[in-house]
Amino acid sequence: MKYIVIGKQGAGKSTFGGYLAEELKTKATDTSAWLVEVETARQKALKERYQIDGTLMTNARPLGQVQSWDEARNRPCRELLVALGDAVNSVGNTFLVDRCFKKGDIAIGVRRKNELAEIKARYPDVVVILVDRNAGSEQAKDNFELGIADTEHLVVRAKTLDGAKKIAETFAKIVQERLEVNHLVLLEEPDGSIKMSTF
């Protein structure tokens, strides 16, 4: 089974996807991480083959030298990653996810409605998971076009890292027992327990 983890910037997609990958014994690949790898390889090839500095800068650092996701979230870097993603997906809206699925069963970071529609057509059994850490509150403004209406499967609402891990464990058990996963909400309660409901 293939999984797409969606959510706004800073919602915890990569964290949840990593925990879910551990539980399901697969690999999760973030589309932004894949873009950084590609950009790093592009810069290296230009320098080695043509002695050209083709470095794309994010603030004062080359994109290929971004050290952390905190750094990647800064506005100039974020805008560059979005532009690279749009350019790569110009060959087809499933291109980034196809590359992620070559590495494992979990792709993180789909952002646009047309992209998700084509992915669902290509992978009809894909499970779409919305990570919505701050349910009901305003999250960071970004180019994210999707929401609860775009997932038929699971909404994750974790407030802590431990909560995200518990939700990944709970969801993995549901998947492994082949239980119904449509319209499921897994919510971390204030006491740290996980509440299951539907939407």
pTM: 0.78
pLDDT digits (tens, 9 = 90+) for 34-68: 777 777 777 777 777 766 665 554 544 555 555 54
Instruction: Flag the least confident range among 25-34, 68-77, 83-92, 172-181.
Output: 68-77
Residue type, position 132, single letter: D
Mean pLDDT, the chain, rounded, equals 80
Question: Could you give the CA distance from residue 56 to residue 50 in angstroms, rounded to a whole number?
Answer: 16
> Quick one: what percent of the chain has pLDDT higher than 70?
77
Instruction: Flag the least confident range among 19-33, 35-49, 78-92, 134-148.
Output: 134-148
| Structure token pair of residue 173 | 């058990």
Mean pLDDT score, 88-93? 75
**DSSP-derived pairing of the beta strands 106-110 and 127-131:** unpaired
> Quick one: what percent of the chain has pLDDT higher than 90?
33
Residue 17 CB burial class (10 angstroms; 0-12, 13-18, ≥19): buried
Tell whether domain 3-198 is in CATH 3.40.50: yes
By the 8 A CB rule, do 163 and 134 touch?
no
**CA distances, 109 to each of 69, 115, 162 (Å):** 13, 11, 21
> What pLDDT, on a 0 to 100 scale, did the predictor assign at position 53?
63
| Confidence class for position 172, pLDDT limits 50, 70, 90 | very high
Q: Is residue 136 pLDDT above 70, yes or no?
A: no
Helix ranges (H only) for the chain are: 13-24, 31-50, 69-72, 75-89, 95-103, 113-122, 161-176
Residue bearing tokens 């973030």: 30
Question: Could you give the CA distance from residue 96 to residue 178 in angstroms, rounded to a whole number?
Answer: 28
Domain residue extents for the chain:
3-198
| Confidence class for position 121, pLDDT limits 50, 70, 90 | very high
